[in-house]
Amino acid sequence: MSLAANTVVFQFDGKTFIGLTSHNFSISPEIRTSITRDGTTKEKVKWPYSGSIESVASIKGVEETTLLDRNDAVSMVLDTDPVTIIYTPGTGATSYTGKILISSFDEKAGADDNVTFSLNFEDDGTALTVVA
């Protein structure tokens, strides 16, 4: 399996997971405004990030994937420890890593459909760093 150019991948309990259907990754800097006698200045003070992935699959090998096991998904939501995330914004682009907390788990299935999972996440308060 080759990964998409714009990819959100996360690791939990020695396993690597990716969204097969879609993903969303958002960085929303918090800006502090300071007003002094000399004027107004603005600066970025934090860069919180959050997102979601759908139809989550576990990556076992280069060409082999399996859907996320329900036990893994529920364990990630209930676990209080952060999960490692790796975000790559495009082919040949710099990758970034950080720690996230899984904030929700959704499972969907129609009468004759396959079960699909969605996981939502937000950062644990630490900044993203460049993958070395």
Q: Would you say residue 121 has pLDDT above 80?
A: yes
- pLDDT, tens digit (0-9, with 9 covering 90-100), for 50-72: 877 777 666 666 556 676 677 77
Percentage with pLDDT > 70 across the chain: 81
Q: Mean pLDDT for the chain?
A: 77
Percentage with pLDDT > 90 across the chain: 0
62 or 8, which is more confident? 8
Q: Would you say residue 6 has pLDDT above 60?
A: no
Measured CA to CA in angstroms, residue 26 lies from 3, 75, 122 at distances of 19, 24, 9
- pLDDT, tens digit (0-9, with 9 covering 90-100), for 30-47: 888 888 888 888 888 788
Full 3-state SS string of 8-59: EEEEECCEEEEEEEEEEEEECCEEEEEEECCEEEEEEEECCEEEEEEEEEEE
**Lowest mean pLDDT: which of 6-10, 55-59, 123-127?**
55-59
